[in-house]
Amino acid sequence: MSFTPARGSQPPASPARARLAFGGDYNPEQWPPEVWDEDVRLMAEAGVDLVTIGVFSWAHLETALDDFSFEWLDDVLGRLSTAGIGIDLATATASPPPWLTALHPEMLPVTREGHRLWPGGRQGFCPSSPVYRERALVLCGRLAERYAHIEGLRLWHVGNELGCHNALCFCDVSAAAFRVWLRNRYGDLAALNHAWGTDFWSQRYTDFEEILPPRTAAAVANPTQELDFRRFSSDELLANFVAERDVLHEVSPGIPVTTNFMITGHVREMDYWAWAREVDLVSNDHYLIAADPEGYTELAFCADLTRGVAGGGPWLLMETSPGAVNWQPRNIARRPGELLRSAMQHVSRGADGILFFQWRASRAGAEKYHAGILPHAGTDTRIWRESLELRRVLDAVAEVEGSVVRNRVGILFDWQAWWACELDSHPSSDVAYLDRAQALHRSLTDAGVGVDLAHPEADLTGYDLILVPTLYSVTDTAVERLQVAVEGGATALVTYFSGIVDENDHVRLGGYPGAFRNLLGIRVEEFLPLRQHDSVELSNGWSADLWVEHLHLDGAASVATYVDGPAAGIPAITRHTFGGGSAWYAACRLDRAGCDELVGQLLKASGVAPVAVARPGVEVTRREAEDGRSWLFVVNHSDQPVEVDAHGVELLTGKDVDVRLAVDAGGVAVVRET
Amino acid sequence: MSFTPARGSQPPASPARARLAFGGDYNPEQWPPEVWDEDVRLMAEAGVDLVTIGVFSWAHLETALDDFSFEWLDDVLGRLSTAGIGIDLATATASPPPWLTALHPEMLPVTREGHRLWPGGRQGFCPSSPVYRERALVLCGRLAERYAHIEGLRLWHVGNELGCHNALCFCDVSAAAFRVWLRNRYGDLAALNHAWGTDFWSQRYTDFEEILPPRTAAAVANPTQELDFRRFSSDELLANFVAERDVLHEVSPGIPVTTNFMITGHVREMDYWAWAREVDLVSNDHYLIAADPEGYTELAFCADLTRGVAGGGPWLLMETSPGAVNWQPRNIARRPGELLRSAMQHVSRGADGILFFQWRASRAGAEKYHAGILPHAGTDTRIWRESLELRRVLDAVAEVEGSVVRNRVGILFDWQAWWACELDSHPSSDVAYLDRAQALHRSLTDAGVGVDLAHPEADLTGYDLILVPTLYSVTDTAVERLQVAVEGGATALVTYFSGIVDENDHVRLGGYPGAFRNLLGIRVEEFLPLRQHDSVELSNGWSADLWVEHLHLDGAASVATYVDGPAAGIPAITRHTFGGGSAWYAACRLDRAGCDELVGQLLKASGVAPVAVARPGVEVTRREAEDGRSWLFVVNHSDQPVEVDAHGVELLTGKDVDVRLAVDAGGVAVVRET
Amino acid sequence: MSFTPARGSQPPASPARARLAFGGDYNPEQWPPEVWDEDVRLMAEAGVDLVTIGVFSWAHLETALDDFSFEWLDDVLGRLSTAGIGIDLATATASPPPWLTALHPEMLPVTREGHRLWPGGRQGFCPSSPVYRERALVLCGRLAERYAHIEGLRLWHVGNELGCHNALCFCDVSAAAFRVWLRNRYGDLAALNHAWGTDFWSQRYTDFEEILPPRTAAAVANPTQELDFRRFSSDELLANFVAERDVLHEVSPGIPVTTNFMITGHVREMDYWAWAREVDLVSNDHYLIAADPEGYTELAFCADLTRGVAGGGPWLLMETSPGAVNWQPRNIARRPGELLRSAMQHVSRGADGILFFQWRASRAGAEKYHAGILPHAGTDTRIWRESLELRRVLDAVAEVEGSVVRNRVGILFDWQAWWACELDSHPSSDVAYLDRAQALHRSLTDAGVGVDLAHPEADLTGYDLILVPTLYSVTDTAVERLQVAVEGGATALVTYFSGIVDENDHVRLGGYPGAFRNLLGIRVEEFLPLRQHDSVELSNGWSADLWVEHLHLDGAASVATYVDGPAAGIPAITRHTFGGGSAWYAACRLDRAGCDELVGQLLKASGVAPVAVARPGVEVTRREAEDGRSWLFVVNHSDQPVEVDAHGVELLTGKDVDVRLAVDAGGVAVVRET
């Protein structure tokens, strides 16, 4: 991976030969130096070419206020350089050491209920803390000065999973920072009072100093206060990144700077569309949720979303686990072959490197049961062998480096809409933001169709099919972008509880979905959420649960109506010709079969063809280089072999493929297409 | 509705023509003045004749300490007066504004665990706060002075749902007030130590200053402390009402004063028997629990209980929702016709007016998904049309205004017994206070029999059948009242876990149920609660679960014994002749069929006939005027038409009814009887 | 019971005739003196010969600081002495009175989240509080001085259930004490930093003052910090005991001192192996968990464990309930005969006395629904009659007093391993420490085989069969002890997730289970926990769930392999010859039938024969006297009669038993064997 900065003016560190990175987090401070020797030897054996170092080293690097100790790190970095292993050097600011929080307990975060969170875990600091910022920048600067020019430095790694554990802090320091942020956003109180709807429940503010974070209140909090607090919190964390990045850019020009995102189904606090604009390279951490035997579908969604925030360009998988993790209720181990499949899912969707947490499994501490490339049991283990096999495969397909993924289908996705969608006191607490986005993504994947995740305010005119799942809040700009695309010929699908409010969480009046009524040619007078376990049938045989609506056609045609339930006889699925395109609406939560069939109709309507014809559980995707070369990836998650139409050279085996490519059960193939 | 004060010396505001009120909460401050024009026009169209205004207006009326701003309210009230719309003017003290809590954070309530509850919701004040009291009375006084004599003022509305969100506060201010209350109740510590049983667990107090609210402790709290704290908390909230009421009575004589109660299955903090003595008119808020498709049975129970606390006289439904609410997990919309059925349930049980929260659905804030008469989608909606239909029906039956409901069956009900019954460390946490009361009420309703809810210390001699469900704690006076009634010929039914303790939560010794052993002619030596999912059969074929007892007959006869379970062979249902009447006991939790059959036997034994013969799901009730007129109400919740014996004129259609009245599936009928 | 001190230099109080104690907690301060007369009369009628008095009397004995009031206690003790009833005198320090916590609120405990726990319950003090310690010792000293020489004093009872409700306190006082404890344990910070693995997550300490209890943190706490905090907390509570004991030994020599342990499945905070070394007599409180109809199996396990900590010698059941308790969700009453069966389970497993909480059921307070020997309903009750019957049976079998239980099978048990096993972030949160220990105990009991519970560092050479269930953490010493025993000929069984870490919770590297790899002849490279509801089949027909492993044979033989699941074809059960013995390994969680069969094979392999052949649900155990006499106990929990081989005299009936002893359904028998 060449680490071309994804954004900004920083030049790449140095030209590098095409190679997909392989490696992981390396925490040498947990082991005595004799182990370091073994580490470097085994890294060479495994083909590790990039390690992240120093993530949790603050306590070892600054052992007391302004008392720095770099010698041990000099030693380790020297060994790595000598061995030709690339370095992703962390700024070590992820977790402040005990001496610092003991000096400044006001740095510690505070929960919504008012509980101070004490040291003993990690990342225990208030994101708005000026003390934290000051000390982090001192450390970051010292590291940059010392190591900017060492051999093998390929990447700077700011903090770690910023916002993990401490994304929302409700302390007095945060309150003061929130007020500053609000002054910047609104200018004056009149604007804030309007946006927050403080005319309700006697909440009107007369002085910025009266404003607090949405701490636990006697009743449901003001929803716009909550929404702005989430925006503020994401911005505060990002500001910490930017401050460190600026130091690094100044002291260490030419080395790209990243921080590892957490684009995954269970983290939602950071608006990564905004974050991606600030990093030189998008990198992401992804861990499978073990409870779901088909968790690979969530991986595929997250990988596509990561590529989306990376602007379509290559990105880096900064962390995943070579085996089981330790923080889920039941930490299911990977099945044989799963490590390769997961890794190739990421590569097929734009990753140019696969790194793991962590190199060597810890023997102590809270994460000792998190797998490492080098397990507790040593190298005579399946995990070690499959890791080496992965390195071999990455080399075999190294030519894909720098290529991109281009799709004709886009799903609109917005963290801010996620926050707004899942606020309290909504019609049904069963409506989950990710639900429809992931369901539609899965139906497309099962149909062999690639899909991008796009910001609602992006230019959508390049897409033939645009899906708008549960996009509860939208700006006027986003509405306009979608209309322009449909007028220009695209097909769109909007699902229920989309376009209901503006960015202030104010209802768009006159009938739902206010933002899209015109586009969709419908008017909804009332939501009809269903009771738990209830479901309804549609006139075309599909089933749905959770949500139906009292809908009127206002230009649209009915595709299917409800046969029973509270909206019997009322249209459930509609289609509306709009300019040169058409806009569909799904007013209910279709089950998996219904979702598949709807997606099939939309693909037909929009003329989008699959990458290749496969079957559910088999991923078929394509990367394309600027020079016209392309690669077909097949990842077979099923327990049956599969055949796929392909022409070219299969890179793992080196064999020519004429017409049909056979992929074993659980197997992976990559074809350079001709 | 004429708003004759239910209690006290205040004369009615003015003679009014017979009309059942229709309207709701109106929050004009959420909208610009151009919307006010539309509001008044549409209110006239809808036939609104009473609106509640100013509930959450404190922040708009007092914009800083002693800085008042009434002009906007003058404007709105003027528009309403001009349009002839009656005004229920709130004292605007429901939610203190941010400037006040910023000045006095000690006003904010504190939870049992010690969490301060911050602003951002509503009603965030400590009920014992002297600052709150002082500022509330200033505002209340200013409003009373300004508006006492305006045209159209029909009612004062103190606060809002007093005790919603802030019923129990554990702060130091509350602690001090609790001590004052305890001094008043007990006089000295010896009496308190006795009542609280502080000889147990080394809890004896030697100074009132040692006493605290029942904050979270290392082990289960003292139950009598908890009970007294609930009494205190209800009294403190009521004292806030009384203080405002007294100001209003002084400044604005002749206008009745109310506050909206929350008599419903999920609110239990206020002892409304005591509260009803202080209001000029009983008004209530009731919302259906959407998870229950048969939630109308809970409505019927609550409406009867509201009439009970109103002393049998008419009362006002101050709030219900014209559609879905926003605060339940799944907010199910009303089905077609349900709005009318619900409203007529209330009217048939004594309501002389139906008001809604709220007139116009909000576009922002925490309650924007709470339905309004005027929905987000406007007037071309079912909710709007059904609201207008309701107004028409209320006019058609307006002659019932002022009439009352008289029944021969009474259920004893006591909020203080509810609190005591559900304290910690009881034999079974499955015993819920409302369970038997609502089950018996439902069986009676299904049998077409009307029933009153009565305080246990009320004079019961007017009832032929008295039901005593799960009345865990009773005073000696209550025991005496019941005995007198039975001696005089009444039939009584007592169910398990009744009469166990006195008002201090001290067990009445010598065998359960200590208070009623003599009346019932039984002695229970041991409770035998069942494991979850276990059930038992009775010798008469009935089934029961949750609870059985080791019971001995001591004068009573066995009606049925257990066939199996831990009390096999032991009487489950008993009957005891007592004076001229008889007293039955049900020692187990009968299932619905068993409860129906038991109620059938009791009705036969007491000679109580139904209002009319109907079937389950069809409510048949009667209101009676002092002049001898009477009206039969039929509300058909079922999906089948029904026929009921009736003679007179059906008021909705104006048609004569000779012998049989046919009511459509889901329909409503009101017959002026001849 | 003669109350020979189990440990230490204190001589027994006085020679006493052989009798098994019977009585319970007596709280006369809850009742007026006229009730005391009745109490003493009824105690005599019931045969009570030992009562615990003063447990919660602090508020009555010291009514203000240094203001003591002993007269009432003089009176009560005098009545008891006169009636010849033995006295177990509590030091009354269980619950500090309100006046003391009002003077010193810093005495109150604080939760992990930072909530102060307020008075109102019981035992609301920080275990490390110097104020508590000081005042407790003053009271203890005054009681000892006053009552050391009274007639009938047989036992001192320090505090009550030490650690119930307040075992873990996170306040600043506790933090300071924790630091002192850590200095003692580690000497310097380098050792602490190593043990806690603070190299991970930047947690390295540079000053002891930086260290805090494991209060709620932003992420998972350091596991060794948590483990040490549990060790510290157990030690702090024990130190309070020791301080009082030393006062009592000095002032009142010759009277044994105890405190009631809580050896039960739902309390785990105290390391009773350490505690037992400090008491003169082991006494225990045990309450059945009512939700489990077969809760007697948990009782049997706990009774054996109590005997284990008592060094095999007799012990005293200090508390159980004569009927239902009050603190479980559903407090199921005892079935007829169950009181005797439970009591005889304790006696058969080493108890020399059965005491109850409490003598007379309270009429007020938090425990009023906890059964007493004398129920609310008085003496005409089953509980009273069955209590008297128990006294009769205890007299009939009094000759067993002082005899012991000797077994050839041992189960290793360690509270510290329990704590470590259930720390956060483990491979599967389904792994529960007690699960396998209780399952193996049950299989042995159903097979009629007696079993000891032994500390892992005990000398194990006396056992023929040693079971090591889920012993997650072990010291090198423990490993050595087990190896020595197996080398000497014993058979051992180790189950999954044993021997994984050392006492610092550091993984023993090189393959699991690091501590036992050598002994077992296996190497596990990876844990393969199963998803919820998944199960696997074994080649010998057994079933398992929750956990399997990727295991390699390294000298061991495979007994059974997995047929399906993630380890299909891999050994599940192994056997390894080691010295003169053999060591088995069970890598999965067998269901009940599989566990029974495995135990059957182990008994055969080790040549251990049952006490007698019975069937599941029938307990068959033996006590043995030093003079060679022995007694066979049979407790039939089933609803069918049973016959057991026996020779001798059945003591309850006095009848000779020739070959076969018949025991009724639900019955009990004790045979003096010949």
Q: Tell me the pLDDT tens digit for each residue of B525-555.
A: 999 999 999 999 999 999 999 999 999 999 9
Condensed to tens digits (0 to 9), the pLDDT of residues B331-387 reads 999 999 999 999 999 999 999 999 999 999 999 999 999 999 999 999 999 999 999
Residue B313 binned pLDDT confidence (cut-offs 50, 70, 90): confident
Chains that touch A (3 or more CB pairs under 8 A): B, C
Please state, for a pLDDT cut of 90, what percent of chain C lies above it: 96
Q: Which of B30, B332, B370 to mutate to test the interface with A (most CBs of A within 10 A)?
A: B332
Write out pLDDT tens, residues B78-89.
999 999 999 999
pLDDT in tens, B452-473: 999 999 999 999 999 999 999 9
C536-552 b/e (C-beta count within 10 Å ≥ 16 → b):
bbbeeebbbbbbbbbbb
> Is residue B456 less than 8 Å (CB to CB) from chain C?
no
Residue of B nearest to A551 (CA): B381
What pLDDT, on a 0 to 100 scale, did the predictor assign at position C9?
38
Residue A13 has pLDDT above 70, yes or no: no
Considering only residues 396 to 425 of chain A, which have any Cβ-Cβ distance to chain B shorter than 8 Å?
Answer: 424-425
How far is the C-alpha of A438 from the C-alpha of A442, rounded, in Å? 6
Consecutive H or E run containing A661? strand A660-663
For a pLDDT cut of 90, what percent of chain B falls above it? 96
Catalytic residue among B236, B298, B319, B619: B319
| CA–CA dist B82, C251 (Å, integer) | 91
Tens digit of pLDDT for each residue in C364-421?
999 999 999 999 999 999 999 999 999 999 999 999 999 999 999 999 999 999 999 9
In whole angstroms, what is the distance from residue A110 CA to residue A170 CA?
5
- Residue A544's pLDDT is 98
A221: helix, strand or coil: coil
Give residue for tokens 């019961």: B460
> What pLDDT, in 10s, does the model give residues C369-385?
999 999 999 999 999 99
Q: How confident is the model at residue C614 (pLDDT cuts 50, 70, 90)?
A: confident
pLDDT per position as a tens digit, C156-166: 999 999 999 99
* pLDDT confidence band for C472 (50 / 70 / 90): very high
Give bridge partners of residue A545 from the DSSP assignment.
A535, A589
Which contacts qualify for A31-35: CB closer than 8 Å, 24 or more apart? A31/A360, A33/A75, A35/A360
Mean pLDDT throughout C557-576? 98
Whether residue C12 has a cis bond before it, omega within 30° of 0: no
| pLDDT exceeds 80 at position A12 | no
How is B270-317 classified by DSSP, letter by letter? Answer: S-HHHHHTT-SS-EEE----TT-TTTHHHHHHHHHHHHHHTTTS-EEE
The full DSSP string for C556-578 is -EEEEEBSSSTTTTSEEEEEEEE
Alpha-carbon distance values, C663 to A24, C75, C293, C296, C449 (Å)? 68, 46, 21, 18, 18
**Between A59, A327, A377, which is nearest C203 by CB?**
A59
User: pLDDT tens digit string along B420-429?
Assistant: 999 999 999 9
Name which of C30, C165, C333 is nearest B528 (Cβ-Cβ): C333
Choose, from B62, B161, B269, B619, the residue flagged as catalytic.
Answer: B161
What is the Cα–Cα distance from A202 to C657, expressed in whole angstroms? 86
CB-side neighbour CA atoms (13 Å) of B592: 6
Q: Which residues contact C67 (CB under 8 A, 6 or more apart)?
A: none
Q: What percent of chain A has pLDDT over 70?
A: 97
pLDDT at A52 over 60: yes
Between CA B252 and CA B246 the distance in angstroms is 10
A105: closest chain C residue by CA: C210
CA A637 – CA A640 distance, rounded (Å):
9
Residues in chain A: 674
B8-32: per-residue pLDDT in tens?
A: 434 334 444 679 999 999 999 999 9
For chain B, positions 134-193, list CB contacts with chain A under 8 A.
164-166
Report d(CA A466, CA A408) in Å as an integer.
9
Catalytic residue among C62, C226, C244, C319: C319
The pLDDT value recorded for residue A313 is 79
Give me the pLDDT at residue C18, please. 77
Q: What is the phi-psi region of residue B666: left when phi exceeds 0, alpha when psi lies from -120 to 50, beta otherwise?
A: left
Q: What angle do CA A139, A140, A144 make, to 5 degrees?
A: 115
Q: Which of A112, A166, A358, A376 to mutate to test the interface with C (most CBs of C within 10 A)?
A: A376
> With pLDDT > 70 as the criterion, what percentage of chain C qualifies?
97
User: What is the Cα A391 distance to its own chain's centre?
Assistant: 24
Amino acid at B415: W
Residue A244, SS3 per DSSP: helix
Mean pLDDT, chain C, whole residue set: 96
Q: Which among A288, A286, A263, A277 is positioned nearest to A310, based on CA atoms? A: A277
Q: Which of A573, A548, A550 is nearest to A560 (CA)?
A: A573
Q: Which of residues 195-214 of C touch A (CB under 8 A)?
A: 196-207, 209-212, 214
Nearest CB to A58 within list C202, C215, C429: C202
Helices (DSSP H) in B121-256: which residue ranges? 130-147, 172-186, 189-196, 223-251
The pLDDT of residue A70 is above 70: yes
A113 touches chain B (CB under 8 A): yes
Contact C364 B511 (CB under 8 A): no
> ipTM more than 0.85?
yes
Sort out which chain B residues have CB atoms less than 8 A from C361's CB and list them: 507
Closest CA to A168 of A267, A258, A77: A267
Helices (H), A256-295: 272-276
Size of interface A-B (CB pairs under 8 A): 194
> For C222, which of A57, A332, A366 is closest by C-beta distance?
A366
Spell A18-53 as b/e; 16+ CB within 10 A means b. ebbbbbbbbbbbbbeeeebeebbebbeebbbbbbbb
> What would the pLDDT profile of B255-272 be if each residue is shown by its tens digit?
999 999 999 999 999 999
A626–B contact, CB cutoff 8 A: no
Contact, A55 vs A318, CB < 8 A? Answer: no
Judge whether A598 and A574 are in contact, CB under 8 Å.
no
Please tell me what DSSP assigns to residue A427.
Answer: S
For residue A365, give the nearest of C212, C223, C523 by CB distance: C223
Q: Is the dihedral of CA A342, A344, A350, A351 positive or negative?
A: positive
* pLDDT above 70 for B388: yes
Closest CA relative to residue B218, chosen from C96, C28, C172: C96
Percentage of chain B lying above the pLDDT 70 cut: 97
Q: What is the pLDDT of residue A614?
A: 86
Report the amino acid identity of residue A402: G
Q: Is the pLDDT of residue C56 over 60?
A: yes
Instruction: Please give the single-letter amino acid code of residue A47.
Output: G
What span, in angstroms and rounded, lies between the C-alpha atoms of A485 and A492?
A: 9
DSSP C473-539: B--HHHHHHHHHHHHTT-EEEEESS-S-B-TT--B--SSBSTTTHHHHTEEEEEEEEPPTT-EEEBT
Q: Nearest 5°: CA angle at C128, between C122 and C133?
A: 75
* pLDDT over threshold 70, residue B4: no
Q: Which of residues 300-339 of A touch B (CB under 8 A)?
A: none
Inter-residue long-range contacts of B478-485, CB under 8 Å, 24+ positions, other chains counted: B478/B412, B478/B515, B479/B515, B479/B516, B479/B519, B481/B456, B481/B457, B482/B412, B482/B456, B482/B516, B482/B519, B483/B518, B483/B519, B483/B578, B483/B579, B484/B460, B485/B460, B485/B461, B485/B581
- Contact list in A for residue C227 (CB cut-off 8 A) is none
pLDDT > 50? residue B239: yes
Q: Cα angle vertex B490, ends B488, B491, to 5°?
A: 145
Helix (H, G, I), strand (E, B) or coil at B616: coil
Say how far apart CA C445 and CA C467 lie, in whole Å. 14
User: Cα–Cα distance between B155 and A358 in angstroms, integer?
Assistant: 71
Asked if the C-beta of B58 comes within 8 angstroms of chain A's C-beta atoms, the answer is yes
Q: For residue B598, which amino acid is it?
A: L
Nearest chain C residue to A96, by CA: C202
How far apart, in whole angstroms, are the C-alpha atoms of residue A310 and residue C667? 75
Q: Which of A62, A244, A269, A319 is catalytic?
A: A319
pLDDT of residue B448: 97
Cβ atoms of residues B210 and C65 within 8 Å: no
Any idea what DSSP says for residue A29? Answer: G
Whether B624 is catalytic is no
**Known catalytic residue at A549:** no
* A5: pLDDT strictly greater than 70: no
Q: Which amino acid is at A140?
A: C
- Neighbouring chains of B at 3+ CB pairs under 8 Å are A, C
- Is C565 within 8 Å of C536 (Cβ atoms)? yes
- Beta-carbon contacts of C373 under 8 Å, excluding residues fewer than 6 positions away, are C24, C46, C48, C322, C356, C358, C359, C360, C383, C384, C387
What is the structure's pLDDT at A9?
38
Cα B39 to chain centroid, rounded: 31
Partner residue facing B118 (CB), from A217, A220, A224: A217
d(CA A112, CA A94): 22
Nearest-neighbour CA in chain A from B23: distance (Å) = 19
Strand, helix or coil at C186? helix
Nearest to B168, CA basis, from B210, B207, B221: B221
Amino acid at residue number A329: P
Between CA A421 and CA A426, with CA A422 as vertex, the angle to 5 degrees is 85
